[in-house]
């Protein structure tokens, strides 16, 4: 027997209609190249989003077409998110930090018909335009006064374009499984792989991210996503925030600029902000140097890479900010696990809480997780067994766009193999110890490169640290620690090892420490272990 409830479809456009009705006066503030503080309301945003929907129609874009964006976090990019997906087209957010060859690949692979581009990213497109086989029109995200000179052909001005159209638009209704967004993972090996989100997955993910144990946002909150909108939809925040009616603050091209971030936090009373650890290290150093504060900030969501303990403590001790670490990936929309305390932990002291914060977090309803051994046998949640982390759920990818089944990321039982290695404790907290391909196999044991990196960056003289396994005649592999020092800081190998000795078990102590000027990074700002391994291809341990 079926239940007798309506099956209205889960649509992104319904989020827009809801937020328009309920929070029309809520503010959206953006930094752009033209304007250091553009501000308008949800109502104005949705009005322009409907104009954009009419403009897309006028340009001949059809249901299911892929529409590319090369843009920073700001209000025009937000309008594209809403207008493109709401119309039944696919918003393909392109990461401008990919290599030119990768950008050509993703645009042609997605078969983008239109590309909306920020003036600051224009040179990148100009350089590759002759290789783009499907793009019919470029739209520059600027007003008429700020239209740049360009060698691109078929160029329109965003403000002029949408200005020509009515703000009345009926959002179409269609199947909730329709594709809504496309994001390519940076692909540390081979070509980038396209993860295709749907309306259903996006809305369910937005519900989950709004849970009190996750973001717990209220209409009185002010949210600053520092994670780029081309990186897993800024972790889904533009959708979750609409559901909760909170204020949105966008740093535009100033994402890595601590001065702008601090000013935005203070002026716009930001209560929650999110980003990768590197951004926060930079901000904390800036606050130390200037003596400035971030008094309104209550929580910082940290993910994308392991969050060092030093970051958790500096935020806590110097700024009274709670770090909420989360784990996820492009394939999981990205929410997988998140920090939160369990009943029974109310009396934990600061140090005990920090121990929990340093783990990747607990499960969220909607995502099932497990760890398995090489034979796909599930391992216990005992805080000791280590295995491949696998997940499944309605906002987890079941395949990549236009990829053959043989390249499926799913294991034989239909779970997504995340490529991460993890353990899960008896209370359900998951801890990433490595990526499958980065794990160091020493004398038959697995050593966590992440543990060593986290311990190393706890040293005040260390700006960044990367650990790779290198061949060792006795142990097969041993860890090599590669360090970038803070500008002007003094540190040598002996000093580094001495610092680590009481923080790591004996097996994990690196056999050597090498100092470099910089580490290679991927397009999402993580240390590229692949390139680091290449760089140290000929390295040999002497002990
Ligand atoms: P990329 O493949 O470019 O790194 P993703 O952004 O999808 O793209 O990265 C997902 C990966 O990032 C995860 O599989 C995991 O290895 C790592 N990661 C994400 N969050 C965390 C975290 N909190 N701690 C450790 N690693 C993390």
Per-residue pLDDT averaged across 145-168, rounded? Answer: 97
Identify whether the C-beta of residue 513 lies closer than 8 Å to the C-beta of residue 483: yes
DSSP state of 320: -
The reported pLDDT for the residue numbered 324 is: 98
The rounded radius of gyration (Å) of the Cα atoms in the chain is 23
- C-alpha 334 to ligand 1 mean position (Å): 9
Our answer on whether the CB atom of 251 is closer than 6 Å to any ligand 1 atom is: no
Neighbours of 125 (CB within 10 A): 24
Determine the atom of ligand 1 nearest the C-alpha atom of 187: 2
The reported pLDDT for the residue numbered 438 is: 84
The reported pLDDT for the residue numbered 189 is: 61
pLDDT at 530 over 70: yes
Our answer on whether the CB atom of 510 is closer than 6 Å to any ligand 1 atom is: no
The reported pLDDT for the residue numbered 151 is: 96
- Residue of 276, 325, 327, 364 to mutate, ligand 1, most atoms within 8 A of C-beta: 327
- C-alpha 328 to ligand 1 mean position (Å): 6
SS3 471: strand
What mean pLDDT is reported for the chain?
95
pLDDT at 405 over 80: no
Give the pLDDT band (50/70/90) at residue 108.
very high
Give the pLDDT band (50/70/90) at residue 137.
very high
Our answer on whether the CB atom of 305 is closer than 6 Å to any ligand 1 atom is: yes
Name the packing angle between helices 12-22 and 199-210 (round to 10°): 50
Determine the atom of ligand 1 nearest the C-alpha atom of 419: 14
DSSP state of 446: E
Per-residue pLDDT averaged across 15-30, rounded? Answer: 98
Residue nearest (by alpha carbon) to ligand 1 atom 25: 306
Tens digits of residue pLDDT in 51-88: 999 999 999 999 999 999 999 999 999 999 999 999 99
Determine the atom of ligand 1 nearest the C-alpha atom of 186: 3
SS3 299: strand
Question: Which residue in the block uniquely carries the two structure tokens 């240390």?
Answer: 527
The reported pLDDT for the residue numbered 442 is: 84
The reported pLDDT for the residue numbered 29 is: 98
Indicate the CATH number of 439-535 among 3.40.605.10, 3.40.1410.10, 3.90.120.10, 3.30.300.30: 3.30.300.30
- C-alpha 31 to ligand 1 mean position (Å): 27
Q: Any residues with CB less than 8 A from the CB of 246 and at least 6 apart, and which?
A: 26, 217, 218, 219, 220, 221, 222, 223, 272
Our answer on whether the CB atom of 432 is closer than 6 Å to any ligand 1 atom is: yes
Helices (H) and strands (E) in the chain, counts: 16, 25
Residues classed as catalytic:
185, 331, 441, 446
The reported pLDDT for the residue numbered 411 is: 93
Distance CA 529, CA 531 (A): 5
Identify whether the C-beta of residue 179 lies closer than 8 Å to the C-beta of residue 64: yes
Distance CA 469, CA 447 (A): 9
Tens digits of residue pLDDT in 242-265: 999 999 999 999 999 999 999 999
Our answer on whether the CB atom of 418 is closer than 6 Å to any ligand 1 atom is: yes
The reported pLDDT for the residue numbered 3 is: 97
Q: What is the DSSP string of 325-380?
A: EEEE-GGGSSEEEE--PPTT-TT--HHHHHHHHTS-EEE-TT-EEEEE-TT-PBPP
Tens digits of residue pLDDT in 190-244: 788 999 999 999 999 999 999 999 999 999 999 999 999 999 999 999 999 999 9
Tens digits of residue pLDDT in 297-355: 999 999 998 899 999 999 999 999 999 999 999 999 999 999 999 999 999 999 999 99
Give the Å distances, CA to CA, from 123 to 86, 96, 151, 376, 451: 30, 11, 9, 48, 40
Our answer on whether the CB atom of 306 is closer than 6 Å to any ligand 1 atom is: yes
């Amino acid at each position: 027997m079926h239940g007798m409830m309506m099956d209205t479809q889960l649509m992104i456009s319904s989020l827009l209609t809801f937020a328009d009705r309920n929070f029309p006066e809520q503010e959206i503030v953006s930094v752009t190249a033209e304007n250091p503080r553009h501000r308008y309301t949800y109502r104005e945003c949705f009005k322009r989003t409907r104009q954009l929907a009419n403009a897309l129609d006028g340009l001949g874009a059809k249901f299911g077409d892929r529409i590319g964006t090369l843009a920073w976090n700001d209000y025009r990019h937000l309008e594209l998110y809403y207008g493109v997906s709401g119309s039944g087209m696919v918003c393909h957010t392109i990461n401008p930090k990919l290599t030119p060859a990768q950008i050509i690949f993703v645009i042609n692979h997605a078969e983008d018909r239109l590309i909306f581009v920020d003036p600051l990213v224009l040179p990148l497109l100009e350089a590759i335009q002759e290789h783009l086989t499907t793009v019919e029109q470029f739209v520059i995200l600027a007003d008429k006064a700020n239209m740049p000179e360009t060698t691109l052909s078929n160029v329109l001005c965003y403000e002029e374009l949408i200005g020509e159209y009515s703000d009345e638009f009926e959002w179409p209704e269609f199947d909730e499984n329709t594709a809504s967004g496309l994001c390519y993972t940076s692909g540390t090996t081979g070509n980038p792989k396209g993860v295709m989100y749907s309306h259903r997955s996006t809305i369910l993910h937005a519900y989950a991210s709004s849970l009190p144990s996750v973001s717990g946002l209220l209409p009185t909150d002010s949210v600053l996503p520092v994670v780029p909108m081309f990186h897993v939809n800024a972790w889904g925040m533009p959708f979750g925030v609409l559901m909760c009616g909170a204020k949105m603050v966008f740093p535009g091209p100033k994402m890595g600029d601590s001065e702008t971030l601090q000013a935005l936090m203070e002026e716009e009373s930001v209560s929650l902000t999110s980003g990768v650890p590197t951004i926060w290290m930079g901000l904390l150093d800036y606050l130390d140097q200037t003596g400035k504060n971030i008094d309104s900030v209550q929580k910082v969501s940290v993910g994308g890479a392991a969050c060092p303990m030093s970051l958790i403590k500096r935020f806590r001790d110097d700024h009274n900010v709670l770090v909420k670490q989360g784990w996820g990936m492009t394939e999981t929309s990205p929410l997988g696990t998140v920090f939160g305390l369990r009943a029974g932990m109310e009396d934990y002291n600061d140090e005990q809480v920090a121990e929990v914060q340093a783990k990747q977090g607990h499960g969220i309803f909607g995502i099932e997780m497990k760890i398995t051994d090489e034979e796909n046998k599930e391992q216990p949640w005992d805080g000791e067994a280590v295995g491949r982390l696998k997940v499944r759920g309605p906002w987890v990818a079941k395949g990549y766009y236009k990829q053959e089944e043989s390249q499926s990321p799913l294991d034989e039982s239909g779970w997504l193999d995340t490529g991460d290695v993890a353990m899960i404790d008896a209370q359900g907290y998951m801890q990433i110890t490595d990526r499958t391909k980065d794990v160091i196999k020493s004398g038959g044991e697995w050593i966590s490169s992440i543990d060593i990196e986290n311990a190393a960056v706890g040293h005040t003289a260390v700006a960044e640290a990367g650990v790779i396994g290198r061949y060792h005649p006795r142990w097969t592999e041993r860890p090599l620690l590669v360090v970038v020092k803070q500008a002007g800081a003094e540190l040598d190998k002996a000093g580094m090892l001495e610092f680590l000795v009481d923080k790591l078990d004996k097996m994990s102590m690196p056999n050597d420490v090498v100092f470099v000027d910089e580490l290679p990074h991927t397009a999402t700002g993580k240390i590229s272990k692949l390139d680091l391994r290449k760089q140290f291809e000929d390295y040999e341990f002497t002990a």
